[in-house]
Amino acid sequence: MSGVVRPRATQSPCNGVCRMDDATGLCVGCGRTLSEIANWGSMKDAERAGIRDMLPERMARLRREKSGSPETAR
């Protein structure tokens, strides 16, 4: 062992609920776009981390749209 600690690759946020929302273009399970899902394996870890950082707001947007809330997503 060299003692070098390598950071773990950013894990996929997929939870197996793979269905795209027509209105937003986001997966209702993980909040990613189809392009992000398709390219996840070839993305750099920093790109993946950036997408993961956006997922909480995207999932909130999906919940708002599903509930018919008048507060629309950006």
Is residue 48 domain-resident?
Answer: yes
pLDDT at site 73: 44
pLDDT digits (tens, 9 = 90+) for 22-31: 999 999 999 9
Tens digit of pLDDT for each residue in 4-61? 665 666 789 999 999 999 999 999 999 999 999 999 999 999 999 999 999 999 999 9
**Within a domain: 68:** no
Q: How far apart are CA 60 and CA 18, in angstroms?
A: 17
Contact between 61 and 73 (Cβ < 8 Å)? yes
Q: How many CA atoms lie within 13 A of 52 on its CB side?
A: 14
Banded model confidence at residue 71, pLDDT cuts 50, 70, 90:
low
Structural domain that includes position 35: 20-61
Number of domains in the chain: 1
pLDDT bucket at 74, cuts 50 / 70 / 90 = very low
**Contact between 23 and 68 (Cβ < 8 Å):** no
45, 10 in Cβ contact below 8 A?
A: yes
In a domain, 10, yes or no: no
Give the predicted TM-score (pTM) of the model.
0.78
